[in-house]
A and B are shown apart, each in its own frame.
Chain A
């Protein structure tokens, strides 16, 4: 029941549903207009027909009266009233007192005012022994000497007919509304399903499965065209990604080698040279500079490699707790030298699937940052909870303002304006790339004071 409610709420929020509802509303309003028109024109037609019959009767009787006087009128009314002609015309001729002289109505209808002109009333009719009150409509004509002539017509059939039309129209209208509603829902669902297919494919592609494509229906409608275009776009992206990997491989092979040669030439020039003088010192400084350049270059390539996901094959079951402890052990003397307290809070045996070297490097980068920029008490913790493995590194340093927490993951971003601390601004970029490679997340939050970086992975 709750699932259904949830599904309905989701459906209501979709564009397809809104479109379907709009169409449905326009449809309903126009259909209502058509039905009202049909009703009014058919009701009007019946009304006119009744009136035309009455007018013809009255004209006929007036002619009789003019030719044959009152007695002739009474005669003809009596004659016409005698047989049941089935046309439902009612007659009554009375004297000035209202006493009936002829006609097929027994007396002046009760409660009807005696005034010349058109009038409506009810009469009692016996049908199969039962008395029914039936509506009638007619006109009263006052003849000289106080005599009165009532000509009317039983309009119960017309009323019934009108009622029938009303009901028919109402039911067909309701039917059309229900069909329209179901049609709209089905249409919006179909529309939704195809949009959903596109969405799901996009999600899978974002998740790293670049080879996934939107299925085509083969109808070459707009959705198929959209899907085909998206697929072409994905092909293009895949090609570009492959090209980028190729470029990074080429950089590795083509650019690092000459850099290495440059460094080697400098190094060779030192072999056998006397270890003195400003020249030797300058060459040493140049070698250091080349080393820094190469280190940055290697770090960039490492990140590119992790981001492209080519190292997924190196994943194996490993103990995150052990990785954390090893990294802490490596950095413990550095912490001591920096005057920081490195606290370890690791739950044993946290198995995840991953690349040990990349994860070690990510943890090392986090510890490096915490000791370099944070300081105070640095805490490394690793815990397992609800099928998730979490590793946190927190410090009690100045922290990172909330609006800058996303930017620090970008390449070469360093928050320290003076950039005096050694580093290349690539540490957290690698951490994020490693987290993504492992389908994990990395988040920064306030440690009050300081910064906490939290890595989270699926536990095995």
Chain B
């Protein structure tokens, strides 16, 4: 998997490159919007991570130019501007995700993974499966093995999001954004309570737990420990 990082702040760029490389990605880096656009136009990247404020060419302008050239490489915008307005502007300009600085590296990793999967995972599937847990999107029913599990609508959405990202870490912020459409951090960790409720329903009476807590990062639903 090949990533392009367009970030002018040298230190941020350095740790992005270091962290992403250590996580197993091939990373190219540029500190200039125009150069970034030039590199990205080759279309040989699996995802682009770009800062919003860049010398030479603004991040949003760069993204706009890229989309105008019909290059749809999934992209994630990094920005210190965190208001909803800024977020909307970034997504309108063609960004696929928006992450406000400062962010946890695990958050960035989780989001990049989700971005990379977005193209691959066919949204046409009607059933999601993790080990013996099965979620039917049509009948909106969940069963584990032969046991039917009753979920509240929100719990269903939560499980669906986790299962769509099965095997990958999903952060609390991602859950808040995608399941609740809330773009702020609640003071209490309300997400933990919702997840533990869900866990009660899908894991409690079964031998092998599927819903795991990833320390310092978030949650992950997977078959193996």
Give per-residue flags for B101-112: 1 if the beta carbon is below 8 A from chain A beta carbons, else 0: 111111000000
Chain A residues whose CB sits within 8 angstroms of the CB of B102 once the complex forms:
256-257, 259-261, 263, 294
The CA-CA distance from A52 to B15 in the complex, in Å, is: 121
Q: Which of A267, A302, A357, A371 contacts B104 (CB 8 A)?
A: A267
The CA-CA distance from A355 to B184 in the complex, in Å, is: 13
Q: Which of A260, A271, A314, A371 contacts B84 (CB 8 A)?
A: A314
Chain B residues whose CB sits within 8 angstroms of the CB of A69 once the complex forms:
none
A427 touching B187 by the CB < 8 A rule? yes
Chain B residue total in the interface (Cβ 8 A): 36
Given contacts A305-B83, A361-B184, A272 and B197 within 8 Å (CB-CB) = no
A319 CB–B CB distance under 8 Å: no
Give per-residue flags for A323-347: 1 if the beta carbon is below 8 A from chain B beta carbons, else 0: 0001001110110010000000000
Chain A nearest Cβ from B105, distance in angstroms:
4
B204 CB–A CB distance under 8 Å: no
A287 CB–B CB distance under 8 Å: yes
A272 touching B184 by the CB < 8 A rule? no
Chain A nearest Cβ from B12, distance in angstroms:
6
Given contacts A257-B12, A298-B82, A305-B83, A334 and B187 within 8 Å (CB-CB) = no
Please report which residues of chain A, range 235-266, place their CB below 8 angstroms from some CB of chain B when the two chains form the complex: 249, 252-253, 256-257, 259-261, 263-265
B182 touching A252 by the CB < 8 A rule? no
Chain A residues whose CB sits within 8 angstroms of the CB of B101 once the complex forms:
256-257, 260
Given contacts A252-B80, A326-B180, A357-B183, A263 and B104 within 8 Å (CB-CB) = yes
Chain A residues whose CB sits within 8 angstroms of the CB of B12 once the complex forms:
257, 260-261
Nearest to B215 among chain A residues (CB) is A284
A264 touching B19 by the CB < 8 A rule? yes
Chain A residue total in the interface (Cβ 8 A): 49
Chain B residues whose CB sits within 8 angstroms of the CB of A249 once the complex forms:
81
B184 touching A360 by the CB < 8 A rule? yes
The CA-CA distance from A313 to B182 in the complex, in Å, is: 19
Chain A nearest Cβ from B11, distance in angstroms:
6
Chain B residues whose CB sits within 8 angstroms of the CB of A256 once the complex forms:
80, 101-102
B208 CB–A CB distance under 8 Å: no
Q: Which of A263, A310, A357, A368 contacts B182 (CB 8 A)?
A: A357
Nearest to A271 among chain B residues (CB) is B22
A365 touching B187 by the CB < 8 A rule? yes
Chain A residues whose CB sits within 8 angstroms of the CB of B85 once the complex forms:
311, 313-314
B145 CB–A CB distance under 8 Å: no
A333 touching B187 by the CB < 8 A rule? no
A423 CB–B CB distance under 8 Å: yes
B127 CB–A CB distance under 8 Å: no
Given contacts A268-B19, A271-B19, A294-B102, A330 and B81 within 8 Å (CB-CB) = no
A289 CB–B CB distance under 8 Å: no
The stretch among B34-42, B162-170, B188-196 that forms the contact with chain A is B188-196
Chain A nearest Cβ from B126, distance in angstroms:
26
Nearest to A284 among chain B residues (CB) is B216
A364 CB–B CB distance under 8 Å: yes
Q: Which of B80, B83, B190 contacts A314 (CB 8 A)?
A: B83
The CA-CA distance from A310 to B81 in the complex, in Å, is: 13
B216 touching A333 by the CB < 8 A rule? no
The CA-CA distance from A287 to B106 in the complex, in Å, is: 12
A372 CB–B CB distance under 8 Å: yes
Given contacts A265-B15, A372-B188, A360 and B105 within 8 Å (CB-CB) = no
Chain A nearest Cβ from B55, distance in angstroms:
14
Give me the interface of B with A, judged by CB distance under 8 Å.
Answer: 9, 11-12, 15, 18-19, 22-23, 53, 80-85, 101-106, 154, 180, 182-188, 190, 193-194, 197, 215-216
